[in-house]
């Protein structure tokens, strides 16, 4: 189940998704994956522990990384507030921050509508935390 709380914005009320409790850890994910596969928890943990370094290395080569059943990771950058007058003046020193973006995997039907999103459980039940 997922949780939400009521939040007022510009005079109207809306549900806002919230997280509960502590985050799941790499160990938790490794344990769950080992239950549904033939790979041991320790082997799964070792792969997950190195995943961040591998993704960073691949994205630093200017490529995105698509993980089947998960989604696509890619980098974007922000430049300082002042642009330059000509394309020749553009340089890496203008970049002030780099972010990793993520697009969850999805599939589309014949009419181009999204029919499935892998990280959204279609059976998700929403619970109002204020009513618990």
Given this model, what pLDDT does residue 112 score? 81
**Predicted local confidence at residue 101, as pLDDT:** 96
Query: Tell me: the pLDDT tens digits for 67-118?
Result: 998 999 999 999 977 789 999 999 998 999 999 999 998 888 788 887 777 7
Average confidence score pLDDT of the chain: 90
Model pLDDT for residues 51-61, shown as the tens digit of each residue: 999 999 999 99
pLDDT of residue 116: 75
Look at residues 44, 24, 25, 26 and name the one whose alpha carbon lies nearest to residue 34: 44
Taking a C-beta distance cutoff of 8 angstroms, is the pair 30, 49 a contact?
Answer: no
Task: Say what the pLDDT of residue 123 is.
Answer: 86
Q: What is the pLDDT of residue 75?
A: 95
pTM here is 0.76
List the chain domain ranges.
23-62, 64-83+91-119
Q: Are 129 and 123 in contact (CB under 8 A)?
A: no
pLDDT band at 39 (very low <50, low <70, confident <90, very high): very high
In contact, 116 and 106? CB cutoff 8 Å:
yes
Angle at CA of residue 92, ends 66 and 94, nearest 5°: 110
The conformational region for residue 123 under phi > 0 = left, psi -120 to 50 = alpha, else beta, is alpha
pLDDT number for residue 6: 92
Tokens of 5: 């709380």
Note whether 17 and 3 are within 8 A (CB): yes
């Amino acid at each position: 189940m997922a949780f939400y709380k009521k939040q007022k914005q510009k005079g109207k009320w809306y549900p806002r998704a919230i997280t509960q409790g502590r985050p799941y850890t790499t160990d938790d994910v490794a344990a769950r994956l080992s239950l549904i596969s033939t790979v041991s928890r320790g082997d799964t943990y070792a792969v997950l522990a190195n995943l961040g370094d591998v993704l960073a290395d691949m994205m630093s080569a200017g490529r995105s990384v698509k993980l089947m059943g998960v989604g696509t990771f890619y980098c974007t950058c922000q430049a300082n507030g002042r642009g330059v007058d000509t394309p020749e003046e553009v340089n890496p020193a203008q970049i002030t921050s780099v972010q990793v973006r993520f697009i969850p995997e999805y599939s589309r039907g014949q009419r181009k509508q999204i029919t499935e999103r892998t990280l959204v459980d279609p059976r998700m039940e929403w619970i109002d935390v204020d009513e618990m």
